[in-house]
Amino acid sequence: MADKDYAYYPGCSLEGTGSAYDASIRLVMQALGVEVKEPHDWSCCGSTPAHAVDHLLAGALAARNLVLVQKMGLKGVSAPCPSCFSALKTAHYRMAKSKAFKDEVNELLDVPYEGTVDVRSTLQFIYENIGVEEVARPVKLALPNMKVAPYYGCILNRPPEIAQFDDPENPVSMDNLISAVGVEVVDYAFKMECCGAAFGVPRKDMVNKLTHKVLSMAIEAGANCIAVACPLCQQNLDLRQAQVNAAMGSSFNIPVLYFSQIMGLTYGFTPKELGIDKGVVDPGNLIETGPIVPKEVEKPKKTKAAAKEAS
């Protein structure tokens, strides 16, 4: 079993629009008996705007936080937001790959980054470092009404050289986690098709079209709820759902929960504790819990990567 002693880098969105994600992760970690260690005085990872403007600046803004983890003496850090994850991991990857880049980045920092920190998304951390078996243990309640379409977004496991997690074309980690806590998932083809990312503010027209596609594919597959692992995805799919409806003439009304909120519900936390009331589309009776009815345990789906390892 991999190391559970990782730092936790919440990132800016989880202080703002994604606060419910943060709250639910902390509760889930508590139920799983894993201590959340936040690096003191972390700063913004730089996200899309930094690397859009300059790679070097982006590298330095991310690396400052890796240095904090390095100071904590921990092996790695997990980040719930894919954007942070990608920024941190890309900085780490590029610095490992090119000494010149590493030197340039370190020139901008007060304390140089040594290149020792293992960066994972919090989803990966829960899936690999804690594992599905452990995750199933605290389950107290069932969510019988829920049929979840897990939505991974684009950069949680891409590009594979950098993310090094799950299958880049057909990820299954979130599916397996949600199944592990006894909730039904549906398979559909748009699990990692882009929702419009950070263009919500400057280019709403694009987000509307792309989000519309994702929502309709999930609903067509029979889902009545979407699970996400990203505050930006949550914003585009949930907060902007009304905008999408208006622009595209649709009438979607599908709640969008963080996977950690779904896990938290089965662990017996209340919707309020988990911040589910902060979502715009009301999940209504979907979050009604019931007693656990034992059913045949499904084998976790295998990813290509996992299958390769096994062979």
Partner 1 sequence: MKVGVFICHCGNNIAGTVDVARVAEETRKIPGVAYAINYMYTCSEPGQDQIKDAIKKYDLDRIVVAACSPRMHELTFRRTVEKAGLNRYYFEMANIREHCSWIGEDRELNTNKAMEAVRAAVAKVMQDKPLYSSSFAVNKRVLVIGGGVAGMQAALDCADGGHEVVLVEKSPSVGGMMARLDKTFPTIDCSICILGPKMVDVAQHDLIKLYAYSEVEEVKGYVGNYQIKIRKKATYVDWTKCTGCGECMEKCPSKDAYDSFNFGVAPTKAINIPFPQAIPKKAKIDPTYCRQFTKGKCGVCAKICPTKAINYEMEDEIVTEEVGAIVVASGYGLLDIEKMGEYGGGRYPDVITAIQYERLLNASGPTSGHIVRPSDHEEPKTVVFVSCCGSRDKSIGVPYCSNFCCMYIAKQAILTKDHMPDSQSYVFYMDIRSPGKGYDEFTRRAQEEYGTKYIRGRVSRIFPKGKKMVVRGADTLLGTTVEIEADLVVLANAVTAAPGAPQLAEKLHISYDTNAFYVESHPKLRPVETNTSGVFLAGCAQGPKDIPASVGQGSAAAAKVLSMLSKDFLENDPAIAQVNQNACVGCLKCVKTCPFQAIVEEELRGGKVVAKVIQTVCAGCGVCTSTCPCGAIQLQHFTDNQLLAEVNALCLS
Partner 2 sequence: MRVINLSTTSDASFIEQVKKESGQDPAECYQCGNCTAGCPYTEFFDYPVSMIMRLIQAGQKDTVLNSKAIWLCATCETCTTRCPCEVDVAHVMDTLRNIAYREGRYTEKDIKTFYEAFLTSLKNNGRIYELGILMGYKAKTLHLLADADLGPNVLVKRLIHFQPNKIEGRDEVQRIFKRFAEKRDNEKRDNQKRDHHG
Stretch that binds partner 2, among 8-16, 25-33, 69-77, 249-257 (CB under 8 A): 8-16
Q: Which does 189 bind (CB under 5 to 8 A by kind): partner 2, partner 1, none?
A: partner 1
* Interaction pattern, residues 226-245, with partner 2; x per rule: CB under 8 A: -------------xx-xx--
Q: How far apart are CA 10 and CA 15, in angstroms?
A: 8
Q: Which of 52, 189, 292, 297 binds partner 1 (CB under 8 A)?
A: 189
How many Cα atoms within 13 Å fall on the side-chain side of residue 53? 10
Residue 15, exposed/middle/buried by CB under 10 A (0-12, 13-18, 19+)?
A: exposed
Query: From the CB of residue 247, how many other CB atoms can be counted at a distance below 10 Å?
Result: 16
Q: Which 3-state string (H, E, C) describes 169-221?
A: CCCCHHHHHHHHCCCEECCCCCCCCCCCHHHHCCCHHHHHHHHHHHHHHHHHC
Q: How many residues bind partner 2 (CB under 8 A)?
A: 60
157: phi then psi, degrees, rounded to nearest 5: -135, 30
CA dist 203 and 243 (Å) reads 13
* Residue 296 touches which of partner 1, partner 2, none (Cβ within 5-8 Å per kind): none
Per-residue contact flags (x/-) with partner 1 for residues 135 to 174, judged by CB under 8 A? --------------------------------xxxx----
220 is a site residue for partner 1 (CB under 8 A): yes
Give the three-class secondary structure for 226.
strand
304 binds partner 2 (CB under 8 A): no
Q: Count of residues binding partner 1 (CB under 8 A)?
A: 10
Taking the least distance from each CB to partner 1, the nearer of 6 and 190 is 190
Closest CA to 182 of 221, 149, 142, 147: 142
Q: Is 101 exposed, middle or buried (0-12, 13-18, 19+ CB in 10 A)?
A: middle
Which partner in partner 1, partner 2, none is near 298 (CB below 5 to 8 A by kind)?
Answer: none
Instruction: Please choose, out of 69-77, 108-116, 142-150, 297-305, the segment that lies near partner 2 by the rule CB under 8 A.
Output: 108-116
Whose CA is closest to 132, among 309, 310, 306?
306
- Interface with partner 1 in residues 18-37 (CB under 8 A): none
Enter the tokens of residue 290. Answer: 């019931």
Q: Is 209 in the site for partner 2 (CB under 8 A)?
A: yes
Residues 111-150 contacting partner 2, CB under 8 A: none
Residues engaged in binding partner 1 (CB under 8 A): 167-170, 189-190, 217, 220, 304, 307
Residues engaged in binding partner 2 (CB under 8 A): 12-13, 15-17, 19, 41-44, 46-57, 60-61, 64, 98, 104, 107-110, 154-155, 158-160, 168-169, 193-194, 196-206, 209-210, 239-240, 242-243, 277-278, 280
